[in-house]
Amino acid sequence: MDLLHQFLNINVLPPLTFIALLLLMPTFGLLKFLFSLKRYIYIENVAGKVALITGASSGIGEHVAYEYARRGARLVLVARRVDRLQVVADKARQIGSLEVIVVAADVSKVEDCKRFVEEAVNHTLDNDINFWGSVYSTHYAIPYLRKSKGKIVVISSTAALLTSPRFSFYNASKAALISFFETLRTEFDPDIGITIVTPRLIESEMTKGEILSQYAWVQVEATEVCAKAIVDSACSGDMYLTEPPWVKGLNLILNISRQIKVIKLQVLFSSESI
């Protein structure tokens, strides 16, 4: 039985995969073109709607807040640093947000997540949520999201797919985040739209840290560019966003390379067993 599985893995799976790719590529190309066309034709108008943003005191969260503010959204900004949140809130109002409220909370604490969702709902939430946060935050937001046909935008990372040394727990947590929200997508579609974002290296306090600062050659994307891409993607109803887009090609190459290594190992083990 083991020899049969080895035979199928080495002699059947690769050619079948190749044939399937040849047959599916034209269909995939057509679907991708149609989705791209839809994306440019339809984009959600978020003026007057609510964007509840966790981690809004700096980095991607801060600049996503500014991007929504430019589009006239009402903001609920959540983070631990109230003084920094007030600065972000003032700038968001100047840019064009109709209303901004600040909530001091820690998303790692269950009671805080429940509190800031309820505070946002009681104060101003009556239409839509574009939500960045953790599992606990989502748990308490889901009843309101389902009622308002809202959206969840998940900030994961390409580290979930392109793993980096010395970041094992970070990589694992980002991979778990993708898996969790993929499952929610199957449970709540079409009531709640979910966009999973996998950014590479974006300007933030983390990318200025000691480890990454050792690599001067590492290219970091401007936070403003990433934030605009995220809001565009959410408003277009995309399921996924990789930023910058060229990382998708790198991921594909690495996956193919891994598959080749697996096949080589299978061939090696097969020859040894024979």
Write phi, then psi, for 131 (nearest 5 degrees). Answer: -115, 125
Handedness of CA 205, 130, 132, 74 (dihedral sign): positive
Neighbouring-strand partners of residue 101: 76
- The Cα 123–Cα 103 span in angstroms is 11
End-to-end CA distance of the chain, in Å? Answer: 14
Q: Which residues, including other chains, have CB under 8 Å from residue 163's CB and lie 6 or more apart?
A: 171
Distance from C-alpha of 110 to C-alpha of 205, rounded to nearest angstrom: 25
Query: Buried b / exposed e across 141-161, counting CB within 10 Å, b at 16+?
Result: bbebbeebebbbbbbbbbbbb
Q: Which two tokens stand for residue 197?
A: 């974002």
Nearest to 200 by CA among 176, 169, 178, 222: 222
Length of the chain, please?
A: 274
Catalytic residues: 170
CA pair distance 69, 93, nearest whole angstrom: 7
Q: For residues 168 and 18, give the distance between their C-alpha atoms in angstroms, rounded to a whole number.
A: 33
Provide the 8-state DSSP code for 212. G
**Dist CA 180 CA 241 (whole Å):** 17
